[in-house]
Amino acid sequence: MLGDEKILFSGMQATGSLTLGNYLGALKNWVNLADEYTTFYCVVDEHSITVRQDPAELRKRARNLLMLYIAAGIDPEKNCLYYQSHVSGHAELAWILNCFTYMGELQRMTQFKDKSAKHADNINAGLFTYPVLMAADILLYQADVVPVGKDQLQHLELTRDIANRFNAIYGDVFTVPEPYLGKLGARIMSLQDPAKKMSKSDENPNASIYLMDDADTVMRKFKRAVTDSEACVAYRDEQPGLKNLLDIYCACTDKTPEEAVKEFEGKGYGELKTAVGESVVAVLTPLQNEFHRLEKEKDYIDKIIKQNAEKAGYYSSKTLRKVQKKIGFPEKIR
Q: Mind telling me the catalytic residues?
A: 115, 197, 200
316 part of the interface to ligand LTN, by CB under 6 A: no
Rounded to whole angstroms, the Cα distance separating 74 from 281 reads 20
Measuring CA to CA, how many Å separate 185 from each of 74, 78, 107, 299?
16, 22, 29, 33
Compute the distance between CA of residue 164 and CA of residue 175 in angstroms, rounded to an integer. Answer: 9
Residues of this chain that bind ligand ATP (CB under 6 A) = 12-13, 15-16, 19, 21-22, 25-26, 148-149, 185, 187-188, 197-201
Continuous H helices in 141-236 = 153-170, 215-223
Using CB distances below 5 to 8 A depending on partner kind, what does residue 138 bind out of ligand ATP, ligand LTN, none? Answer: ligand LTN
Determine the interface stretch with ligand LTN among 116-124, 133-141, 234-242, 250-258 (rule: CB under 6 A). 133-141
22 binds, among ligand LTN, ligand ATP, none (CB under 5 to 8 A by kind): ligand ATP
Q: Which of 29, 152, 190, 208 binds ligand LTN (CB under 6 A)?
A: 152
Q: Residue from 11, 76, 185, 241 that binds ligand LTN (CB under 6 A)? A: 11
* Chain centre distance of CA 248: 18
How many residues appear in the chain? 334
Site string for ligand LTN, 30-69 (x = CB under 6 A): --------------x--x----------------------
Among 7, 10, 241, 315, binds ligand LTN (CB under 6 A): 10
Max distance between CA atoms of the chain, in angstroms, equals 77
Closest to 326 (Cα-Cα) out of 173, 136, 211 = 173
Among 33, 70, 134, 320, binds ligand LTN (CB under 6 A): 134
**What gap in Å lies between CA 312 and CA 310, rounded to an integer?**
6
